[in-house]
Amino acid sequence: DTEVTQTPKHLVMGMTNKKSLKCEQHMGHRAMYWYKQKAKKPPELMFVYSYEKLSINESVPSRFSPECPNSSLLNLHLHALQPEDSALYLCASSQASGEQFFGPGTRLTVL
Amino acid sequence: ILNVEQSPQSLHVQEGDSTNFTCSFPSSNFYALHWYRWETAKSPEALFVMTLNGDEKKKGRISATLNTKEGYSYLYIKGSQPEDSATYLCAPESSSASKIIFGSGTRLSIRP
């Protein structure tokens, strides 16, 4: 299995909702990442998990809360988001700091 | 690593022609340089990861070189085909942090 999967593909939520994005990989990668991508811009790093521990938080607002339950799974919990948080959220994984494998993303719309 | 510059921003090339573009990055604290290919409505796809000064990597008609002393990398595409149309992103990685920072990319369009 050489892919990163993400669910859901699309998500529409209101500003008072709580939702979660999920990411899964079975390549034995020990680093996992969340990126935010706005239209026609390159991905912007949000969080890095290394060996299931949060190693980098790029000053992301607390309404985004990452979680790494085990080495294969990465979640992003969303609460009280703003319309400007609407974007494509990409998950990626890598062996240490090698090439990153990206999932297909979750297209999030905040109303 | 804060300043990643890619040039040109966009490029239109006739099918069959060869082309190249540049990624510039600060040479201090360098650890690795990543190249990704990014098609519209798809996720970035890794092309190369290079670490050593003078490194040259090749995948089919695409190749890349690396100069860590002066802080630049070139990506070359030989005999461009319509399927090469995409945005090519470079992303340097510093030795002080396990993260990559994407440049804004070079958007390549191949004219049939």
Neighbour-count burial for A71-104, b at 16+ CB within 10 Å, e otherwise = bbebbbebeebeeebbbbbbbbbbeebebbbbbb
Q: How far apart are CA A4 and CA A73, in angstroms?
A: 10
**For residue B34, which residues of chain A lie inside 8 Å, CB to CB?**
99-100
State the pairing for strand pair B56-59/B30-38.
Answer: unpaired
**For residue B105, which residues of chain A lie inside 8 Å, CB to CB?**
42
Q: Does B42 touch chain A (CB under 8 A)?
A: yes
Q: Which of A34, A88, A97, A107 should one mutate to test binding to chain B, selecting the residue with the greatest count of B CBs within 10 A?
A: A97
Q: Does A84 touch chain B (CB under 8 A)?
A: no
- Find, in chain A, the residue whose alpha carbon is nearest to that of B90: A42
Contact assignment for A45 to B100 by CB distance below 8 Å: yes
Strands (E), A26-86: 31-37, 44-50, 53-57, 64-70, 73-79
Q: What is the pLDDT of residues B35-93, one digit of tens each?
A: 999 998 888 999 999 999 999 999 999 999 999 999 999 999 999 999 999 999 999 99
Contact assignment for A45 to B101 by CB distance below 8 Å: yes
Q: For position B2, what pLDDT does the model report?
A: 59
Distance from CA of B46 to the nearest CA of A (A): 6
If you search the block for the tokens 């695409």, which residue do you land on? B62
Contact assignment for B34 to A100 by CB distance below 8 Å: yes
Q: How far apart are CA A60 and CA A53, in angstroms?
A: 16
Contact B44, B57 (CB under 8 A): no
Distance from CA of A13 to the nearest CA of B (A): 21
Q: What is the pLDDT of residues A40-88, one digit of tens each?
A: 889 999 999 999 999 999 999 999 999 999 999 999 999 999 999 999 9
Q: Place A1 in a pLDDT band, splitting at 50, 70 and 90.
A: low
Residue B110: both structure tokens together: 């191949």
Q: Place A97 in a pLDDT band, splitting at 50, 70 and 90.
A: low
